[in-house]
Structure 1
Amino acid sequence: MKNILFCALLTGAFFTQSCKQEASGHILTVKNTLDVSRSNETVEIKKSDLTLKEGESFEKLAVQDATTKAILVSQFVDEDQDGNADVLLFQPELAAKSEKQFKLVSSQGTKGQEVTAYCYSRFVPERTDDYAWENNKVAFRTYGPVAQKMVEDGTKGGTLSSGIDAWLKKVDYPIINKWYAKNHKSPGAYHLPSPEGLDNFHVGVSRGVGGTAVKIDTTYYVSKNFTDWKVITTGPIRTSFILDYADWDANGKTISEKKYISLDYGSNLTKYEIEVAGTNSISSGLTLHENDGVPTENTEAGWVSYWEPHGDSELGTAIVVPNGNMISSEYFVTGLTDQSNLYAQIKVNQGKVVFYSGYGWKEANEFTTKESWENYVKDFTLKINNPLEISLN
């Protein structure tokens, strides 16, 4: 894993030398309206919201705490892929019912500090054609067209599934490249326990952790593998990318979907923003595996969770739907292999659906009980529905 240079401050340390702290006139006020502290939540500053001075470069700005003068870790993102950054990301820490001010200062002419790209994703041609992503908490992958064709041609080693696989990691550093490298050297190596974790999460044709489906009458219909991919960004705060899918049939309805996927530092849940046509609702599912876990359905709050025995440990998975867009949930059990899932049905608004899904593994020693996992999900839901308020002077 390569490190990426940013004019930044590593968490918990002060750094006042590397970034040239010249006042730019850009002052941000970030307000937390909730009675809980906030951290690991990403603030987005759009270039279009700033009035830049003559000669001032958006991509040469850094974020400074107005009180402590510390420079925060930040990341620039070229969202429209035109070669120029559109958005500046950073993650402030705020106490309950509080606000902080930050300045955008110039870092021009200075050497950036080396910061680990904890939030990372890439296409993986050496393992057929997976697409994998991770941050400091969790890792995932899903499957591409070559893996699909291998199954359709009867070739050994393929995978036909649009489900989302969970790689169970218990270290905060990046493992994707490392695990694929050891698997390339010794096929199946990442399925074996290691101090870093393992991939023992079976997906099959299930929805895994957040795969999508469309329900017609009593049947759930699903797409095949993704057909194309595009990386948007990787870095210390966010990785994001796009997955395209071929149109697919749901009992006579033609469904199209394009997934904009992102994962931020500190979050156990991936964000899915999906462009959808052909249906008024779409479902996201959590596989039930052996159906020996405990489901929790809270349609009113907008989340579902599944806590289950997993190998020699336990695992929690969840889906969170913001802004009251969860229509219903269903604990769907069938005798068909890998097709039992806990579903959240989500309203399509103006051709788009937004939800979050992810996991917490007991072996990672953060969520060791069903209650601790569900408390995290509740807290995540509260914060997503009450985002930090940003004002710019």
Structure 2
Amino acid sequence: MVVLSCQESAVEGKYINVSNTMDMERKSETVEVDLSRTGLDLSNNNAEDLKVKDADSGAILLSQLMDLDEDGNFDLLLFQVDMLPNQNRRFLLTYEEVGEDVSQIGKSTYSRFVPERTDDYAWENDRVAFRTYGPDAQRRAENKLPEGTLSSGVDAWLKKVDYPIIDKWYAQHLQRDSSYHVDHGEGYDPYHVGSSRGIGGVGIWIDDSLHISKNFISHKTLVNGPIRTVFELTYAPREVDGVRFNETKHISLDLGSHLYRSEVLLDGGHMLPNLTVGISLHDKEGEVKTSPDEGWFRYWEPMDGSQLGLGIVVDPKVVQAYKDHRVDYRDGSQLLVMTDVNNGKAVYYAGFAWDQSGHFIDANSWDNYLKEFSRRLQQPLEVSYE
């Protein structure tokens, strides 16, 4: 514990330093503070009252506590910063209730299971929204019932607003007030997934074929908060090329990001030759661009009178190959990225940019985002504790 002097009063707190060692600016980047290294006695204080204060301006920043192992104790503290090239910044973790509070910004991340809509699982932040499909949708599809979907691909909901829309759009759609397939001013869902990988669905590429799972069979919401949402999806055990394994996805999405993070755990799958991440090419009218050495891959396509950019980012060191796979049958044409499976695990990022959202104007701006995103992953912010 460090005792700090603030005018004439003693304040319990801890200073941390954040360094950007890159020659590029970083906007709204998430900082992870390991609470075990702060020396703060969380047992004698309400951890939820812990604040992050800019040491220079005194402003209180938006922050979020996380209990990763669900043992009832917080492990991480998250907050977001803007960093100039090669900048160092200092922050104070404190229970002191002073300074301008800018922590309530009206934006958030969110995810939930949607049993009222054939067991979807949906997630969003202030920029993008996604969903994938659950057991009831599979049952309906296999029994030729209405509203069935047999897919482990990922769908895109295109947003024009920075506030949460998942609950509102589902409610209006189910009440027949309006359809989320029609833009009523906030955005909509014109994206088709079908049996494709959509935006970041996965499979195993063997003998010129992509072996994919069916819909998820169980889910678990781990964290919802202003900066990050985290959840798990589990898929039915399956066998590929003589290897039987279980597949679990640990997915998270941070505020301000256009890409979600997916950590795929393949229990028993350490002998699998790859994990393949895909993007649907739909009717093949878009443009593929790749940079394997930098770890990013994208598709820029026309979408219902607008333009949509899809992207995958992965550590360049684990990229085996990629394939611009084009066929004549529906949902089969895809941009596929084959990655290593290390100790039964693989990590990638996937997401999209819509030119009607106001954040990207063309394919070049999307390319620059993916390139810089990959660079930031390879050279994260450095956090030190005083």
Establish whether TM, by shorter chain, passes 0.5: yes
Matches within 5 A, 1:217-366: 217-276=207-266, 277-278=268-269, 279-322=272-315, 324-366=317-359
Q: For the residues of structure 1 that align with 2:177 and 2:342, how far apart are their CA atoms?
A: 43
Instruction: For residue 131 of structure 1, give the secondary structure of its aligned residue in structure 2.
Output: strand
Match of 2:58 among 47, 60, 69: 69
Displacement of 1:339 in angstroms is 1.6
Question: In the TM superposition, what is the alpha-carbon distance from 1:252 to its structure 2 partner?
Answer: 3.5
AA in 1 matched with 2:254 = D
Q: Which of 10, 32, 44 is 1:55 aligned to? A: 44
Matched, 1:97 2:90: no
Q: State whether residues 222 and 250 of structure 1, in contact with CA within 8 Å, keep that contact through their aligned partners in structure 2.
A: no
RMSD of equivalent CA atoms = 2.0
How far did 1:87 drift? 1.1
Between the aligned partners of 1:303 and 1:212, the Cα distance in structure 2 is 16
Matches of 1:115 and 1:85 in 2, distance apart?
Answer: 23
The 1:365–1:114 alpha-carbon spacing in structure 2 relative to 1, beyond 3 Å, is closer
What does 1:111-260 align with in structure 2 at a 5 Å threshold? 116=106, 118-186=108-176, 189-260=179-250
Question: Which string of whole-angstrom CA distances, capped at 9 and with x for unpartnered residues, describes residues 68-95 of structure 1?
Answer: 1111100111211223322110001111
2: CA distance between counterparts of 1:22 and 1:337?
A: 67
Q: Secondary structure at the match of 2:375?
A: helix
Give the C-alpha shift of residue 335 in structure 1.
2.2
Q: What residue ranges of structure 1 are gaps of 5+ in the alignment?
A: 1-20
Which segments of 5 or more consecutive residues in structure 2 lack a partner in the other structure?
1-8
- CA 1:348–1:251: 2 relative to 1, 3 Å: closer
Deviation for aligned residue 1:187: 7.9
TM-score between both structures, scaled by the size of structure 1:
0.90
Secondary structure in 2 matching 1:34: coil
Displacement of 1:251 in angstroms is 4.1
Question: Partners in 2 of 1:230 and 1:153 — Cα distance?
Answer: 26
2:382 counterpart residue number: 389
Which residue matches 2:5? none
The Cα shift of 1:117 comes to 5.3
CA contact (8 A) 2:276 2:336 kept: yes
* CA distance, structure 2, for counterparts of residue 79 and residue 41 of structure 1: 20
Equivalent residue pairs, number: 372
Say whether residues 1:378 and 2:364 are aligned partners: no
Post-superposition offset of 1:47: 2.3
Contact 1:52 1:58 survives alignment (8 Å): no
Q: Taking every aligned residue pair, what percent have the same amino acid on both sides? A: 44
Q: Is 1:26 equivalent to 2:19 in the alignment?
A: no
| Residues in 2 aligned to 1:283 and 1:326: alpha-carbon distance in whole angstroms | 10
- For the residue of structure 2 that corresponds to 1:92, the secondary structure is strand
When structure 1 is superposed on structure 2, of 27-36 and 75-84 the one drifting more is 75-84
